[in-house]
Structure 1
Amino acid sequence: MSVRSPRAPRVLVVDDEADLRELLELTLLKMGLDVDSAETLAQARGLLAASEYQLVLTDMRLPDGLGLELVREVTAAYKNTPVAVVTAFGSADNAVIALKAGAFDYISKPVALDQLRVMVQSALRLNAEPSPELAPSAAAPASRLRGHSAVIQALRAQIARLARSMAPIAITGESGSGKELAAREIHAQSSRAGKPFIAVNCGAIPEALMEAEFFGYRKGAFTGAADERDGFFQAANGGTLMLDEVADLPLAMQVKLLRAIQERRVRKIGATAEEPVDVRIISATHKNLAQCVEQGSFRQDLFYRLNVIELSLPPLRERLDDLGELTDAILARLGTFEHQVRLAPGVLETLRGYSFPGNVRELENILERALAFADDGVIEVGDLALKGAPLAEAMAPSPMPATWSVAAAPVMSATSATSATSASADAPSAPPLPQLDALPCSLPDYLNQIERDLILRALAQTQFNRTQAAQLLGISFRQLRYQMQKLNIQEPEA
């Protein structure tokens, strides 16, 4: 059967049930679409070869094969044609398999016509926008993921493909690697870009409030429910719901979340009926979900439902070629109208030698902290204060001049002062710090004492010229001034 209207998008319906096929045809025709229909895989293949379609809608079970075969063929041979599947009621596993094979979306029997219309409109919006593969010369919108390294370019290409599907995505990666940025990028490139993007930190919600926060509640449902309120699912309706740190969900909430994702319906607390919701689920975690399943802290069926497509983000140490671009972007954001922030020579090379266990988020923190110590918006190497390079290692012990008194340096004994005086006359190097006979009772106090000693030596060597002392210590003047205030080091009276 074939029904035509001038210049209307064309949809192919493949189903061997005549009643369902007719229902789908009538619904699509009322939406102003052209409709072709087929009863078998063979008929569908013939129509695909003869015409171009904006959407293929197929049943999973056909007389001469499985709809899954058609999904794979359309995905491989007609890359710009989304294909959706109709699954039997309760066949969530079949839906997941179809999504993994490349299906754009799925709808369950009995078919809810409102959900069908929403799905069709989402598929048609994909074709309404020019594909990057068809128009490579078109200017692409600025990506939230900065960098041009091979790994980040491959990640962007993968995101562009995932954005054309409605399949749930599980984003994995270390803390600070940009999982929410990747989720927002997927949403921005999808047909849902004009709809809400709701990000939820699952680890930050008290367990007693989770159901109300996710599904909403009716007025009077419990003490304090003075008004009706929507939950995260209703707020993200038509758009994307990101479940950040999903591994932190308690098991009781995992059961309720699984049903909401499978049925695409939620029930507010205090309500008697469920309401349909249309959301795409993107989950993220820095934990190994498969390992959480083995340990029993995460449900296997929910893992299977969320992990349809896995997107792994590289840590910053694996894309150090992007460090310069990332740094420029962060400094541009940190700068003000009066001061343009810039890096002194050697700073970028120092950053390249750091492992960044906190990834891009740690890079932002390092630069923001360094800017607080920088003079005139110029970040020096000493301003970075990278872990593993404490002040005690930034400068070798300096000789204590004879003019410096023991009273001004209480951390030194009389013997040490005498040795320092002799050393200043006979050799340019100071004696090493004394070896510990026993561990200090307070490590912070001991380290502060060593830091204080080094600062006092540098000030003594420069006759308390703080600018020169800061240069000796390899830190900025502002950082030295901060450390002197912190350690209560004051300039001696004349």
Structure 2
Amino acid sequence: MKANILIVDDEANTLASLARAFRLAGHEATVCDNAARALELARTEPFDLILSDVVMPRRDGLLLLEDLKTAGVTTPVVMMSGQAHIEMAVRATRLGALDFLEKPLSTEKLLVTVENAYKLTRLEHENRELQRRVGRHTLVWTSEVMRRAMTQIERVAASESRVCIYGETGTGKELVARTLHEKSARANGPFITLNCAAVPAELIESELFGHERGSFTGATQRHTGKFEQAHRGTLFLDEIGDMPQAMQAKLLRVLEEGEVERIGSGKPTTVDVRVVVATHRNLEQLVEAGGFRRDLYHRVVVFPVELPPLRQRLNDLPALVEHFARQVSAQNGWKPVPFTHDAIEALARYQWPGNIRELRNIVERLLLLADREVDAEAVRLALPSSASKPHSGNAPLTDASGPLAERVLAFERAAVLAELDRNQKHITQTAKALGLERSHLYKKCQQLGIDLQNLPNRD
């Protein structure tokens, strides 16, 4: 057990001695001499325990406890004081303190308190995870194509093999990764995610490996990276095909050696992590084009799993609609509303460029507007206006008729497709030319129904 502890006290000697005691016991300790700074640290960095003195100038420990509660910080807090009395201890307990220790402090008592707080933090985290998972992270399927995919998932889940999940945006790649984690021996460990396409290239190393305070401009406190957060659990790297090549080499080294090094640390930390990756891109083609390292490809694509798009598994649509309707109704406290047979047929005629994610959003929209039932007319009104227009694939929409909103969307779609052609489908260069972040370009393409995986070659 290695806990991350924040110590708050206005006495420098106390901070130094407590920090030394915790570090000798194998824990990490951050020291702070005032309540305002402590609140800032607690809101921005995950601690397993906050140990705070009561009597401090300007703002005392009990007021800090109130501030932490108001800010929604759930980290267990232990109060300590050399001027302890019953009233102070009672007030601290009512404010939510886990324990109250009287100075001078016993090292043995401190370490037992840390161990108990760490166990409490883990239990609360696991409880929140279980509550979050119930109903939300369930794979729903009845089709034969999904049965084959699930057979593969079940087969590989119990192993330590690295899995690469292929599929279009919105097909449920993260849900499959969670299923792999929950069916593995690491199920009681953390499940940590990182979307490689959503993090700027200059920040992705810090996100993966962490950094020390002051290691670069803007690093105002130590940051624990995703690999360390996922220790003894699973790290899911979504859109691995968009990881910058400089980071690909560093990721390869971590996979080979099982060690990470925070930026500015110089000290390697051993991590025990199962890495699962996903992408909507063809990694083999990327390797041949020089956009993805061949050695990293062979490290992460040990067991490939292909997720079909929703348009190829429409037999699952009734079950998915029922699942999402039940889920959305339960979350909002709504009375269940049935979908007519005609409504399901109308949903099945749509191409679903956003796949499962789009379907859930549409179901929620339909339930918001529904009275007694959801019929085909409600579906027609809820689906994007372009759904009624016959077009396929990535053919540009250049129709200049219709409402202004539709004309703007058609113009945006044509502009994005033209820029993708101009930059030979290079996402980063296209985003730069359009003045967008790379992650924003992905969202814009999804909104416009542009399938980045299957862009046609146009002369």
In the superposition, the TM-score normalised over structure 1's length comes to 0.49
CA distance in structure 1 between the aligned counterparts of 2:154 and 2:389, rounded to whole angstroms: 48
Tell whether the 8 Å contact from 1:215 to 1:234 is kept in structure 2 after alignment: yes
- 2:201 paired with 1:210: no
CA distance in structure 2 between the aligned counterparts of 1:390 and 1:198, rounded to whole angstroms: 36
Residue among 322, 333, 338 paired with 1:337: 333
* RMSD value, Cα: 2.7
2:213 — aligned with what? Answer: 219
CA distance in structure 1 between the aligned counterparts of 2:218 and 2:406, rounded to whole angstroms: 52
1:384 — aligned with what? Answer: 379
CA distance in structure 1 between the aligned counterparts of 2:158 and 2:355, rounded to whole angstroms: 29
User: Displacement, 1:290?
Assistant: 0.9
Give the % identical residues. Answer: 42
CA distance in structure 2 between the aligned counterparts of 1:200 and 1:144, rounded to whole angstroms: 20
Question: Does the C-alpha gap of structure 1 residues 338 and 355 become closer, same or farther in structure 2, counting only changes over 3 Å?
Answer: closer
CA distance in structure 1 between the aligned counterparts of 2:273 and 2:405, rounded to whole angstroms: 56
Q: Deviations over 1:316-372 (max 9, x none)?
A: 222222211111011112224343222134111222233323221121122223233
Tell whether the 8 Å contact from 1:371 to 1:377 is kept in structure 2 after alignment: no
- 2:157 paired with 1:198: no
Which one has more relative contact order, counting CA pairs under 8 Å at least 6 apart? 2
User: Displacement, 1:271?
Assistant: 1.5
Mind listing any 5+ residue stretches in structure 1 that lack a counterpart? Answer: 1-140, 394-438, 449-494
User: Displacement, 1:149?
Assistant: 2.2
Q: Deviations over 1:134-190 (max 9, x none)?
A: xxxxxxx99821122223233222212111211111100111111111000000000
- 2:287 paired with 1:328: no
Tell whether the 8 Å contact from 2:171 to 2:309 is kept in structure 1 after alignment: yes
1:371 — aligned with what? Answer: 367
Mind listing any 5+ residue stretches in structure 2 that lack a counterpart? Answer: 1-134, 391-397, 408-459
- 2:281 paired with 1:287: yes
Question: Does the C-alpha gap of structure 1 residues 392 and 147 become closer, same or farther in structure 2, counting only changes over 3 Å?
Answer: closer
2:256 — aligned with what? Answer: 262
Q: Deviations over 1:221-273 (max 9, x none)?
A: 22333332210000001000000011111111111111111111111111222
1:272 — aligned with what? Answer: 266
Residue among 146, 152, 157 paired with 2:146: 152
Question: Does the C-alpha gap of structure 1 residues 388 and 445 become closer, same or farther in structure 2, counting only changes over 3 Å?
Answer: closer
Tell whether the 8 Å contact from 2:162 to 2:275 is kept in structure 1 after alignment: yes
- 2:226 paired with 1:232: yes
Question: Does the C-alpha gap of structure 1 residues 392 and 182 become closer, same or farther in structure 2, counting only changes over 3 Å?
Answer: closer
Counterpart code for 2:342? G
Tell whether the 8 Å contact from 1:343 to 1:378 is kept in structure 2 after alignment: yes
Q: Deviations over 1:54-96 (max 9, x none)?
A: xxxxxxxxxxxxxxxxxxxxxxxxxxxxxxxxxxxxxxxxxxx
1:69 — aligned with what? Answer: none
Question: Does the C-alpha gap of structure 1 residues 243 and 365 become closer, same or farther in structure 2, counting only changes over 3 Å?
Answer: same
Q: Deviations over 1:4-61 (max 9, x none)?
A: xxxxxxxxxxxxxxxxxxxxxxxxxxxxxxxxxxxxxxxxxxxxxxxxxxxxxxxxxx
Counterpart code for 2:358? E
- 2:311 paired with 1:317: yes
2:158 — aligned with what? Answer: 164
Question: Does the C-alpha gap of structure 1 residues 158 and 142 become closer, same or farther in structure 2, counting only changes over 3 Å?
Answer: farther
In the superposition, the TM-score normalised over structure 2's length comes to 0.53
What does 1:48-127 align with in structure 2 at a 5 Å threshold?
Answer: none
Q: Deviations over 1:109-138 (max 9, x none)?
A: xxxxxxxxxxxxxxxxxxxxxxxxxxxxxx
Tell whether the 8 Å contact from 1:371 to 1:383 is kept in structure 2 after alignment: no
CA distance in structure 2 between the aligned counterparts of 1:290 and 1:447, rounded to whole angstroms: 37
Tell whether the 8 Å contact from 1:339 to 1:377 is kept in structure 2 after alignment: no
CA distance in structure 1 between the aligned counterparts of 2:405 and 2:231, rounded to whole angstroms: 57
Structure whose alpha-carbon radius of gyration is higher: 1
Aligned residue pairs total 262
- 2:255 paired with 1:249: no
CA distance in structure 1 between the aligned counterparts of 2:262 and 2:203, rounded to whole angstroms: 13
Q: Deviations over 1:198-241 (max 9, x none)?
A: 01011111111111111111233223333322100000010000
Counterpart code for 2:288? E
CA distance in structure 2 between the aligned counterparts of 1:216 and 1:202, rounded to whole angstroms: 15
